[in-house]
């Protein structure tokens, strides 16, 4: 299984708006080929830091989604005026081999 972990920190006071945007997301990724699941979380005590974990059948499916029109459309709910801490956004990739 292929796992993509994205992490970013919100610079302005919009953590609650970002949380609500994820809760109300259009679920377009749910129909993507190879998509298995997603979790969105924040560390206890730091709600401005967002971690997004997606699980895929393979890396090829992840990259196909990431290049798709639906991917860009799925981000239309990002709150206007959102600012991130510079250089806080990062993405890491993993191979999940045991649960």
Query: Any idea where the domains of the chain sit in the sequence?
Result: 2-80
Whether the predicted model's global pTM rises above the 0.75 cut = yes
Instruction: With cut-offs at 50, 70 and 90, classify the pLDDT of residue 79.
Output: confident
Residue 75 has pLDDT above 90, yes or no: no
Gap between the Cα atoms of 85 and 82, Å rounded: 10
Domain 2-80 has CATH 3.40.390.10: no
Burial (CB < 10 A; 0-12, 13-18, 19+), residue 88, is middle
Residue 38, pLDDT > 90, answer yes
How many residues in the chain? 99
* Confidence (pLDDT) at 23: 92
Share of the chain above pLDDT 90, in %: 88
């Amino acid at each position: 299984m292929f796992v993509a972990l994205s992490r970013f920190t919100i610079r302005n006071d919009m953590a609650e708006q970002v949380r609500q945007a994820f809760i109300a997301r259009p679920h377009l990724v749910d129909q993507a080929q190879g998509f298995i699941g997603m979790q969105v979380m924040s560390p206890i005590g730091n709600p401005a830091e967002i971690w997004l974990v997606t699980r895929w059948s393979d890396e090829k499916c992840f990259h196909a989604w990431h290049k798709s029109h639906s991917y860009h459309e799925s981000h239309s709910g990002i709150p206007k005026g959102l600012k991130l801490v510079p250089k806080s956004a990062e993405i890491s990739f993993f191979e999940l081999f045991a649960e």
